[in-house]
Amino acid sequence: MTGNICIIGSGHTKFGRLDKSLEHLIVAATREAVEEAGIAPKDIDAVFLGHFNSGLVADGFASSLIHQAYPELRFAPATRIENACASGSAAIHAGINNLKAGRARTVLVVGVEKMTHRATEDVTTALAGAGYQNDGAERNLSFPQVFGLAARKYTDCYGSPLDAMARITVKNHDNAMHNPLAHMQRRFTLEEASQITKKNPEIAPPLRLTDCSLVTDGAAAVVLTTEENAAGFAKVARFRAAVHVSDFLPMSTRDFLAFEGPERALHMAYDEARVSLGDLQFAEVHDCFTIAELLTYEAMGLTPKGQGSRALEEGIVYRDGTLPVNLSGGLKAKGHPVGATGVSMHAMSYRQLTGQAGGTQKADASMGLVFNMGGSAVANYVSILETQRV
């Protein structure tokens, strides 16, 4: 159990191709979160930074850059957390554990990545560092190729997922049109997302460019505190569950298509929170590639295995559906600054639950789910958050 830990404030920069330094992004997200919470910087007992890096920037020791936001943060213990694309959620878990251990009363968690200043080839190589390096075949796979393999295996087992994947692209880009913080606010027609063209080439067959999330710069932040302390704050979301499941790193040791790590984490979270899918009003899930979102529908229990397309066909996961998925636009359209992604998901969900989500707001949302994944379903983090009535 989370020990009743709460979010009391959030910060979120614009995601995109930004002419801002890593330090600037960290400071901007920090200040917004602290100001939104209405907390004095001196009352923050510890800070945690989610940051993948993998050689993307020269800042190998970035945790104390958070201190640059306020002089009062000087001497607060600062720690950088890395767990591939789930680095942000890993940093949140570090903050939660610090609070549960009684080492702090209030902590600040920031997630950040600066990626767009590097060539696509450099970014691809950096991200591939999150794969298994002690096997020549796996070491040479980019992550588009990894998820391309998943899509091909899905085709062999269940039939082609390409139409469903294109529909996920259309859905998430439509959602991003309502999110001013999203990297790409551009709609796609189903035809544009489905067809292979010069503007939409195959990246890693059968994945098309429109099936891939965006290389992005950005930062997000949340202020965490104990439920007892949260009683004094105006806008509060409480963790009903916070689960972390890690699987084997080598893909050769497991059936990637089975998505066992995500499925186990999701169902452990339902049990910990004592809820079912029917209790949730929205979900933010890790759509690094559209096939990943499709597999997540099945891991969540929205549909049986091999029938993820039904969640789209029946309208379940759309804005006006019973369980909208990625109202923010997801990684696909909001963007995927790796270390920031998990924190962004929690910040966006906090804003949903406290009525601060603007154009993406779902009316009367009181409980939501976050699923953030690192690598090829290796590090799997699931949170269930609910509105805390004060």
For the stretch 160-178, pLDDT in tens is 999 999 999 999 999 999 9
What's the rounded Cα separation, in Å, for the pair 60 and 76? 19
- pLDDT at residue 3, rounded to an integer: 60
Quick check: 2 pLDDT over 70? no
Length of the chain: 390
Confidence of residue 388 (pLDDT cuts 50, 70, 90): confident
Report the largest interatomic distance among the alpha carbons of the chain, rounded to a whole angstrom.
58
Q: Which residue would you say has higher pLDDT here, 1 or 217?
A: 217
Asked if the structure places residue 177 within a domain, the reply is no
Domain count of the fold of the chain: 1
- pLDDT at residue 1, rounded to an integer: 43
Asked if the structure places residue 86 within a domain, the reply is yes
- Residue 10 pairs in a beta bridge with 222
Rounded to the nearest 10°, the torsion over CA 239, 382, 212, 170 is: -60
For the stretch 132-161, pLDDT in tens is 999 999 999 999 999 999 999 999 999 999
Asked if the structure places residue 82 within a domain, the reply is yes
CATH code for position 44: 3.40.47.10
Report pTM: 0.98
What's the rounded Cα separation, in Å, for the pair 298 and 267? 12
Asked if the structure places residue 110 within a domain, the reply is yes
How many angstroms from the chain centroid is the CA of residue 311? 20
The packing angle between helices 260-273 and 290-300, to 10°, is 50
Confidence of residue 232 (pLDDT cuts 50, 70, 90): confident
CA distances (Å), 208 to each of 30, 142, 169, 213, in order?
A: 36, 14, 11, 11
For the stretch 8-66, pLDDT in tens is 999 999 999 999 999 999 999 999 999 999 999 999 999 999 999 999 999 999 999 99
Q: Is 212 a catalytic residue?
A: no
Please name which of 42, 191, 23 lies closest in space to residue 110, comparing C-alpha atoms: 23
In this prediction, residues 221-242 reach a mean pLDDT of: 96
Asked if the structure places residue 22 within a domain, the reply is yes
Residue 19 domain boundaries: 5-118+215-230
Asked if the structure places residue 95 within a domain, the reply is yes
Q: Which residues lie below 8 Å from residue 127, measured CB to CB, with a gap of 6+?
A: 54, 142, 143, 338
Q: Of the listed 67, 93, 183, 336, which one is catalytic?
A: 336
Residue 38 and residue 232 in contact, taking contact as beta carbons nearer than 8 Å: no
Q: Is 173 a catalytic residue?
A: no
Q: Compute the mean pLDDT over every residue in the chain, rounded to the nearest whole number.
A: 97
- pLDDT at residue 244, rounded to an integer: 98
Please name which of 248, 224, 250, 255 lies closest in space to residue 238, comparing C-alpha atoms: 224
Rounded to the nearest 10°, the torsion over CA 12, 16, 17, 22 is: 20
Asked if the structure places residue 247 within a domain, the reply is no
Q: Is 212 exposed, middle or buried (0-12, 13-18, 19+ CB in 10 A)?
A: buried
What's the rounded Cα separation, in Å, for the pair 96 and 174? 34
Please name which of 137, 353, 376, 90 lies closest in space to residue 260, comparing C-alpha atoms: 376
- Alpha helices per DSSP H over the chain: 22-37, 87-100, 120-128, 136-139, 143-158, 162-176, 190-194, 227-230, 260-273, 290-300, 309-313, 330-333, 338-353
Asked if the structure places residue 14 within a domain, the reply is yes
Q: Of the listed 6, 51, 85, 93, which one is catalytic?
A: 85
Q: Which residues lie below 8 Å from residue 34, measured CB to CB, with a gap of 6+?
A: 9, 11, 41, 44, 69, 70, 108, 223
Q: Is 125 exposed, middle or buried (0-12, 13-18, 19+ CB in 10 A)?
A: middle
What's the rounded Cα separation, in Å, for the pair 19 and 34? 24
